[in-house]
């Protein structure tokens, strides 16, 4: 097996900085090229990252002709993910993509379908899985030591809603039914132009949103996402109620300076996270741990920690919440997913 995996960064915008920082922490990975239609920006980033100037490309075709990588890391805006991802898949490349997976359901379905059809390695960066508060929450709730979880209450800033959604699916799985309110988006124009995410996905709630995710085992998850939640002091909080009567709380403490967070038993108990082991507490810790895990899985031949089918499930649940609020009705997630896949499969096949 080769000693190092060769990685090419696709998209030299802001989030690429966090990705390259993560790859630089991996002993078995090397960033060898940058792809961006903005040649000047790409060259500036390449110089900053210590990549040779002749390893800057304006297309994936040129990259593959001159310096074929083992994996491309897509850091473009959401609405470009599908274009670059499927082109990379068709070129036989392995792909790691920034979240959200795609800007609309059709794009997400086509990405998932392309990965399934070709069998290519395809992953998505869900870096919130690697913040200590979330990883410990998953460990505790999966252990069955404290009984069965009956209710989960989530309070989140609107900007964290999509992170909350994918972490809930990672920890608890896909719900069977959903009810919701306040799901229509009314973004200011600058957000519309920045994200270009379709109206049938929530992504960032406009003002306040409430949703209930119900599971076959009787679990109910209650989400409240609001622009009025403090983003810097309490971006999100999870309260888990067990049938034993015990209550576990997990919170993110500071978006800017301390994303290690806190996990404790209520009434207010000590932090179960050993914060002393984390020298880096900022937002970067999730990216570093996520990319390190991706590198380990790739080099050992394991599937991606989060693949494009996982990303598709998140998009389906996001859309189900939107529909539940729009139509004031419960949405059966299994039926919705089946209907979407049938309809979108017909689009692909004409």
Average pLDDT over residues 24-52: 96
Question: Could you read off the pLDDT of 222-234 as tens digits, one per residue?
Answer: 999 999 888 888 8
Residue extents of the structural domains in the chain: 5-127+286-307, 129-281
Q: What digits encode the pLDDT tens for the residues 70-95?
A: 999 999 999 999 999 999 999 999 99
CATH of domain 129-281: 3.30.360.10
Instruction: Give the model confidence (pLDDT) of 233-250 as tens digits.
Output: 888 999 999 999 999 999
Distance CA 335, CA 70 (A): 38
Over range 302-327, report the average pLDDT: 98
**For the whole model, what pTM was predicted?**
0.95
Nearest Cα to 64, choosing from 30, 97, 35, 98?
35
Identify the weakest region by mean pLDDT among 58-62, 134-138, 160-164, 227-231.
227-231
Rounded to an integer, what distance in angstroms lies between the CA atom of residue 156 and that of residue 235? Answer: 6
Q: Give the pLDDT band (50/70/90) at residue 350.
A: low
Residue 255 is predicted with a pLDDT of 67
For residues 87 and 311, give the distance between their C-alpha atoms in angstroms, rounded to a whole number: 18
* 5-127+286-307 to CATH, choices 3.40.190.10, 3.20.20.30, 3.90.1170.50, 3.40.50.720: 3.40.50.720
Does the pLDDT of residue 1 top 70, yes or no?
no
């Amino acid at each position: 097996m080769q000693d190092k995996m060769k990685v090419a960064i696709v998209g030299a915008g802001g989030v690429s900085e966090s990705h390259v920082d993560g790859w630089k922490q991996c002993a078995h990975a090397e960033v060898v090229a940058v792809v961006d239609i903005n040649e000047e920006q790409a060259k500036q980033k390449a110089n900053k990252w210590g990549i040779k100037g002749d390893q800057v490309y304006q297309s994936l075709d040129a990259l593959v002709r001159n310096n074929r990588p083992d994996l491309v890391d897509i850091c473009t805006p959401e609405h470009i993910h599908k274009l670059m991802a499927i082109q990379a898949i068709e070129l036989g490349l392995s792909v790691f993509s920034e979240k959200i997976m795609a800007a609309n359901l059709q794009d997400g379905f086509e990405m998932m379908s392309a990965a399934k059809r070709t069998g290519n390695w395809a992953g998505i960066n869900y870096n919130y899985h690697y913040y200590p508060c979330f990883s410990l929450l998953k460990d505790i709730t999966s252990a069955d030591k404290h009984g069965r979880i009956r209710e989960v209450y989530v309070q989140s800033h609107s900007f964290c809603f999509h992170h909350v959604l994918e972490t809930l699916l990672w920890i608890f799985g896909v719900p069977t039914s959903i009810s919701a309110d306040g799901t229509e988006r009314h973004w200011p124009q600058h957000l519309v132009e920045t994200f270009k995410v379709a109206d049938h996905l929530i992504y960032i709630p406009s003002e306040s949103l409430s949703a209930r995710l119900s599971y076959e085992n009787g679990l109910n998850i209650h989400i409240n996402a609001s622009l009025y939640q403090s983003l810097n002091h309490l971006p999100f909080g999870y309260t888990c109620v067990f049938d034993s009567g015990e209550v576990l709380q997990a919170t993110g403490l500071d978006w800017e300076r301390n994303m290690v967070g806190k996990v404790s038993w209520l009434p207010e108990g000590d932090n179960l996270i050993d914060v002393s082991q984390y020298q880096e507490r900022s937002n970067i810790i999730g990216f570093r741990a996520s990319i390190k895990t991706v590198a380990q899985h790739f080099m050992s031949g394991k599937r991606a920690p989060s693949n494009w089918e996982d990303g598709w499930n998140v998009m389906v649940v996001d859309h189900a919440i939107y529909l539940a609020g729009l139509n004031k009705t419960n949405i059966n997630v299994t039926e919705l997913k089946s209907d979407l896949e049938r309809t979108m499969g017909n689009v692909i096949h004409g």
